[in-house]
Amino acid sequence: MPLRPILKYPDPNLKRVSAPVSNVDHRVLSLLEDLVETMYHAPGIGLAAPQVGTLERIIVLDVDKELGGVGLIKLINPEIVAREGSTVFEEGCLSVIGFTAEVRRASKVTVRAWTPEEKEVQFEAGGLFAVALQHEIDHLDGKLFLDRISSLKRDLYRRRLKKWMREGFPEELTAPSSSL
């Protein structure tokens, strides 16, 4: 199970829509394991296949990672079938270096997906779990949390990123920190 490099904004592959998975084979199961290992190593609480350059509708999440993997979820072809309420969370992303922002999302979602065992599941989620699901499913649709903030904040981040790319990234950005 190799660690996979995580694509960073503004990589154009992060803006592409992922294809549905039609067959859960050895390759898909291996990708799921690679995603899990990469997510925990990053460290993050969620990771979508497009973030490692594979444009397929696959995500992994563990919003309770301090429990040693008990809360690990692996989903294939997840889709949000219902949304309720509204909440604002401070979000970051393993693909967006050195930036977090408040993002408004549904406070409760119902998700339908397939498990690695090819079992269809449907469940409700609230709180951080609902936010993380929406964040990762956005990746499958070619969206970043940057697309959900004001154009002013997005432009400020783009300018800051260009400066870092010219002058070098601050040391604190190269140290691991937990993100979605």
- The residues assigned a catalytic role are 136
Count CA atoms closer than 13 A to 37's CA, side-chain side.
11
Rounded CA-CA distance 152/91 in Å is 17
150: which 2 tokens? Answer: 């004001």
Tell me which H or E stretch contains 177. none
For residue 37, how far is the Cα from the chain centroid? 14
**Best CA proximity match to 136, nearest among 52, 70, 25:** 52
56: which 2 tokens? Answer: 């397929």
> CB-based contacts of 88: which residues, under 8 Å, 6+ apart?
102, 103, 104, 105
Rounded CA-CA distance 111/150 in Å is 27
For residue 137, how far is the Cα from the chain centroid? 7
Beta-carbon count within 10 A of 111 CB: 21
